[in-house]
Chains A and B, each alone.
Chain A
Amino acid sequence: MEVTLKILRFDPLKDKKPRFQEYVVEVYEYTRVLEALIWVRENLDPSLSFRYSCRMAQCGSCGMLIDEVPRLACKTLIKDLGRDEVTIKPLPKYRVIKDLVVEMDDFFEKHRSVKPYLIRKNREEQEKPKKFYVQLPHELQRYLNYGYCIVCGLCSSSCPNFDSSWEYLGPQALSQAYRYIVDSRDEGFEERYEVLNSNSGVWRCHFASECSENCPKGVEPAQAIQMLRRMILSFSFKKKLSLFSEKIHRLSKQ
């Protein structure tokens, strides 16, 4: 079967604005979009740029907008799209470097800002752990699904909130914050609290839940954000209550 790939191309050195270029590719039942792109680059146009690495939905490099939906090119079967013309564009919400390659520095910076690693209150223990941290199966289940995130950026590129706020941390960073907070080995909630409760944090989400719909690994970022909200509300309430009781205590002593 022949399929036309309609690819949005942009070379900042040559083009003033993005343009579509079409390539006709012979595809089979199990041909994936990534394989078709590799074939185009090897046989028709070596100047076509796109990112990929593992080819098995593990590295998260080949995210792109396929038929207007953010998907991993290595995981998308062309026959599943059910069309003989497939439109491929770079992921939206990111700056295009060339063709289908986008700049993800800001995305990774946001990921880093929520401290996506285990934090212990005891710094010495953090640097030089002396024992294993035993974890029970039910404790693992609390975060396992969120641990499947491959940092591909599809969730953030599909989130409509980025259309009105670039500062928003986004579903990926927030779901990873949740993944570590609910980990029984982690004690870093208070360290992450400021950034999560900031203007760019969990309160920016308006629950379109497009992130969960488009996640190629079945992570549920939308759910993680709502659970984080609950935790933050509960923590803030307890904090305010303790401040209030301290104040009352002080006043009663005077």
Chain B
Amino acid sequence: MERVWKWFAIRGRSVNSIAYSFHRITGIVLLIYLILHLGFLTSLRFGESLYTAFISTTVKPETLPLDSLLFLATFYHAFNGFRVVLNEFGLFYEVRRALIYLMTLLTLIFWIYSTYLMYTYVVR
């Protein structure tokens, strides 16, 4: 357990390690989401009413911030993953730090735009 806590340690770490820690954390978040998602879909086998009951607890305006956070985790994991792939092919190694900032910026832009769209459609 002590080793898992080290993922959250920030002091003495460079921005590269922090990006690495966030990548792991967002990966776990996405895994949990995927399990829940598959669980919801599996509930269809036990009847429509059970599925509807599940969906009605999660798909509503009050849970929209959670959806927004899920998008944040997804965008971060995707963009940072792309950066890691580039670096692991030996590309852009010299500008690895700048690449982290660029990917984080892209994450924030995509996240803010997707949240804006989400709220726009729900309000409508």
Contacts and interface: CB of A to CB of B under 8 A. Distances in A.
Contacts of A209: 14, 16-17, 87, 96
Interface stretch (A119-127, A144-152, A192-200, A224-232): A224-232
Contacts of B13: 210
Contacts of A214: 14
Contacts, number: 53
A226 B11 contact: no
B6 A226 contact: no
Nearest to B9: A68
A69 B16 contact: no
A69 B12 contact: yes
A208 B20 contact: yes
B100 to A, nearest CB: 10
Interface in A108-144: none
B90 interface: yes
Nearest to A230: B90
Nearest to B13: A210
Most buried by A among B3, B13, B19, B84: B13
Question: Chain B binding site: helix, strand, loop or mixed by DSSP?
Answer: helix
A65 B104 CA distance: 29
Interface string B76-105: 000000001001111001001000000000
A210 B100 CA distance: 14
Given A206-B20, A210-B17, A164 B3 contact: yes
Contact of A223 (B12, B14, B19, B90): B90
Contacts of A210: 13-14, 16-17, 20
Contacts of B87: 207, 209, 226
B43 to A, nearest CB: 34
A160 B17 contact: yes
A227 B90 contact: yes
Contacts of B19: 208
Interface in A210-226: 210, 213-214, 220, 222-223, 226
B8 to A, nearest CB: 11
A160 B88 CA distance: 16
A229 B96 contact: no
Contacts of B21: 160
Contacts of A68: 11-12
Contacts of A208: 16-17, 19-20
Contact of B20 (A65, A207, A220, A226): A207
Nearest to A205: B88
Contacts of B7: 160, 163
A186 interface: no
15 contacts: A67-B12, A160-B6, A160-B20, A160-B21, A163-B6, A208-B16, A208-B20, A210-B13, A210-B16, A210-B17, A213-B17, A222-B93, A223-B93, A226-B87, A226-B88
Interface of A: 65, 67-69, 160, 163-164, 206-210, 213-214, 220, 222-223, 226-227, 229-230
The 6 closest A-B pairs by CB, nearest first: A68-B12, A208-B20, A213-B14, A163-B3, A209-B16, A69-B12
Given A163-B6, A209-B16, 10 more contacts: A68-B11, A68-B12, A69-B12, A163-B3, A207-B88, A208-B17, A214-B14, A222-B93, A226-B88, A226-B89
